[in-house]
Structure 1
């Protein structure tokens, strides 16, 4: 290293919420973010398929430890389902498996098919998913020419609303809004809706608008982040610093200096009576760590205070 050139300090810890562009993998976004914020310590939560756009949550520096504790178990998507064509991947990137005239599919039949796929359902994931089968990703096995059968799993689709319908010749495009649990595949909803209607179906567009408490309102495009990094600051700024991120994602508990010191050293606190994980803040307004009640005490889940 050039001794006359000062090393750039590490960025503060926090979350960077990115509006992922189409064609990028989640790993691509992490790699780009490392250069834009100036650290190798970047991780992501809630993987998005390359064809999908929208909310991708990245942890920066110490906030990477936070990612595994965030309640990201509910998500919202905007999607377009094309009825009349089934594909090998259940989306537009796959090869056509079958085609049928969807012109005769009625609105009532669509509504009934959607209703059957709403609520607590059993869903077979798409074979090109990242689910591991005997140690290898399902999509890797499919691309290697192997036959892959995945077991059905319980998922919850809290909302499955058709907001627009466009009939174009033999195909029918549906714009939908989906609220669902983690592990739900919107591609599989498209596949199963088309199969139930007897015409086949696949996904042509997918945009995630929310994951847990983080929405597009928190997100910025890669172009915006690049512009910030090329500006006077020399790096992209975070969407939420560590304090704001934990305050957004967890119930808040404020403690005095003695309580903050106890938690910073891994000692339990008096029980809070709040179910689940709570973020504890010291008298200086900064987060100290996460706790959860157990055996009558609020025990440390993660200490975030700097060493």
Structure 2
């Protein structure tokens, strides 16, 4: 029988092919919301979100989720962050960064690298940090910075954060009574670098504010794989699949095809001795779910590939 003109069966497509992450190198002057709005237009979808705000003055890694990738963001916001920042000793501002108005000035020209290194050591490790009053933290449903703009006095209690690395990576640059230094910070989610600059300035007795800030990593996602807004608009596409994203952020747990189908249906498996959340990966290399053991169950924390897709 001649089958030359017989139609070929349609090749199966991945229902998550248009879902995943895009790592953006956020430019200075744009809000995180601005980046999300631009990404929505470029990707032609309303389902775009981000995992961790960057202030307009800051640049660097902004993790955006596309389509079903938005549902993974809640499982990425707790990732550690890395920043490179410039701290200016000798001036405090209303916003604790260079965008604010000057509130005090002191001569910081006598500060040395050794002194600043010693101060940095005081703020390394598990510490209590008082967030900036102009942060995005919500107080009774309204963000702190909104309350400040409306003339309210805002006092946010100190909270525990971890600064695993605070290295001074430049010489002290003294000019006009100021002392500028560059630092690299590895820290837990929820750490405010402007608050760190404020506290270092208080410890130095000169005051300080954040001169510039660039986020170079969010967990395993680095500035080296980030794309610019112009690059996104020229070639709008997911750059990291949901499968890759979850497998990079969590330890891998290989499951059989039958187990993958069960997890896709939200069913639980027998425990195998896992500690913490793992990415369950099927024989096809697809991450079906995030799983965690609880009692006598290995249950899903998040189903990436539900059977209903």
Give, in whole Å, the separation in 2 of the partners of 1:113 and 1:191.
Answer: 12
Give, in whole Å, the separation in 1 of the partners of 2:298 and 2:16.
Answer: 32
The answer for the alignment partner of 2:179 in structure 1 is 172
Q: Does 1:185 align with 2:215?
A: no
Asked whether the equivalents of residues 263 and 289 of structure 1 are also in contact (C-alpha less than 8 Å), the reply is yes
Task: Please identify, of 78-87 and 42-51, the stretch whose mean Cα deviation from structure 2 is larger.
Answer: 42-51
Give, in whole Å, the separation in 1 of the partners of 2:292 and 2:77.
Answer: 14
The answer for the alignment partner of 1:232 in structure 2 is none
Give, in whole Å, the separation in 2 of the partners of 1:183 and 1:155.
Answer: 7
Select the residue among 194, 219, 240 that pairs with 2:226. Answer: 219
1:32-71 alignment to 2 at 5 Å? 32-70=38-76
Give, in whole Å, the separation in 1 of the partners of 2:113 and 2:106.
Answer: 17
Asked whether the equivalents of residues 280 and 287 of structure 2 are also in contact (C-alpha less than 8 Å), the reply is yes
Q: Does 1:125 align with 2:131?
A: yes
Q: CA deviation at 1:89?
A: 0.6
Asked whether the equivalents of residues 10 and 39 of structure 1 are also in contact (C-alpha less than 8 Å), the reply is no
Pick closer, same or farther for the CA change 1:198–1:224 going to 2, 3 Å: same
Q: CA deviation at 1:273?
A: 2.2
Asked whether the equivalents of residues 52 and 77 of structure 2 are also in contact (C-alpha less than 8 Å), the reply is no
Give, in whole Å, the separation in 1 of the partners of 2:116 and 2:125.
Answer: 16
1:1-307 alignment to 2 at 5 Å? 12-70=18-76, 72-164=78-170, 165-228=172-235, 236-306=236-306, 307=308
Task: Please identify, of 240-249 and 202-211, the stretch whose mean Cα deviation from structure 2 is larger.
Answer: 240-249
Q: CA deviation at 1:141?
A: 1.0
Q: Secondary structure at the match of 2:198?
A: helix
Give, in whole Å, the separation in 2 of the partners of 1:33 and 1:10.
Answer: 18
Give, in whole Å, the separation in 2 of the partners of 1:13 and 1:278.
Answer: 20
Give, in whole Å, the separation in 2 of the partners of 1:16 and 1:272.
Answer: 34
Task: Please identify, of 202-211 and 219-228, the stretch whose mean Cα deviation from structure 2 is larger.
Answer: 219-228
Give, in whole Å, the separation in 1 of the partners of 2:189 and 2:284.
Answer: 35
Q: CA deviation at 1:122?
A: 1.3
Give, in whole Å, the separation in 2 of the partners of 1:226 and 1:13.
Answer: 17
Q: TM-score, normalised by structure 2?
A: 0.90
Asked whether the equivalents of residues 11 and 38 of structure 1 are also in contact (C-alpha less than 8 Å), the reply is no
Q: Secondary structure at the match of 1:146?
A: coil
Q: CA deviation at 1:109?
A: 2.3
CA shift digits 1:154-180 (9 cap, x unpaired): 111111111112111311101000111
The answer for the alignment partner of 2:9 in structure 1 is none
Q: CA deviation at 1:128?
A: 0.4
Structure 1 gaps, min length 5: 1-8, 229-235
Give, in whole Å, the separation in 1 of the partners of 2:139 and 2:301.
Answer: 31
Structure 2 gaps, min length 5: 1-14
Q: CA deviation at 1:133?
A: 2.1
Asked whether the equivalents of residues 11 and 37 of structure 1 are also in contact (C-alpha less than 8 Å), the reply is no
Asked whether the equivalents of residues 287 and 305 of structure 1 are also in contact (C-alpha less than 8 Å), the reply is yes
